[in-house]
Amino acid sequence: MKMRSTEPERLDTENPPREMMARVAGYLAFVNRRLGGTRAVASHLGRVRGPASVLDVGCGAGDMALDLARRFPNLRVTGFDLSETMLSFAPGLPRVRGDVHRLPFRDRSVDYVISSHFFHHLSDDGIERTLQEFDRIARRGIVVNDLLRRRRAVLWIRLFTLWANAYVKADGPLSVKRGFTVQEIEALTRRAGLPWLKVRVHFGHRFTLAGERPA
């Protein structure tokens, strides 16, 4: 596992029926709530004082966006995703459908941009461009949450997906193999020209890449 896998995940190349997508959304919500995803992002946004707008890019079914809005009433969270089906599972969440490569937002139009379990779907060049887009639209800060590429993380996720549906069972371990080392994500951040973003390791074999824009 010295290199990131480039094998595409099934959900990136196939269009499962809505019932299966609902089961996938339920699994991702479990991962975020019970295995550290939401907690990692909240550890940064919990420091925000006063009202703030937050854009959750690649929000999927919006479980994290909704959880964060409930935890922090000062945050106005909007979800953004390409999948119309996933967005339909997020009633009550302000949401926008679109492509991350053409974010339909003005410069400095939101206070914070966040993203969870999304970067491992991108190429290294795609991550660099996406970070620069986040930098363009974020007034105050960025929080990225994704997976560390570790052998024990692959074993861990295989255990948690033993009784999962076929898509989760295939894509879960592959997501880890498409993940990052700390050194890799730091190098991509430097390439993007955003030295104010710092990596922090969290429970659940995950990291955050986060920071507040320098004054």
Q: Which residue(s) pair with 40 in the sheet?
A: none
- Domain parsing of the chain, residue ranges: 10-212
Determine the topology of domain 10-212 in CATH.
Rossmann fold (3.40.50)
pLDDT score at 1 = 80
What letter would DSSP give residue 34?
H
pLDDT score at 32 = 96
The model's pTM: 0.96
pLDDT score at 215 = 81
pLDDT score at 149 = 98
- Tell me which residues of the chain have a pLDDT lower than 50: none
Rounded CA separation 41/208 (Å): 7
Select from 74, 41, 75, 78 the least CA-distant residue to 56.
Answer: 78
Would you give the end-to-end CA distance of the chain in angstroms? 39
pLDDT score at 102 = 86
pLDDT score at 101 = 85
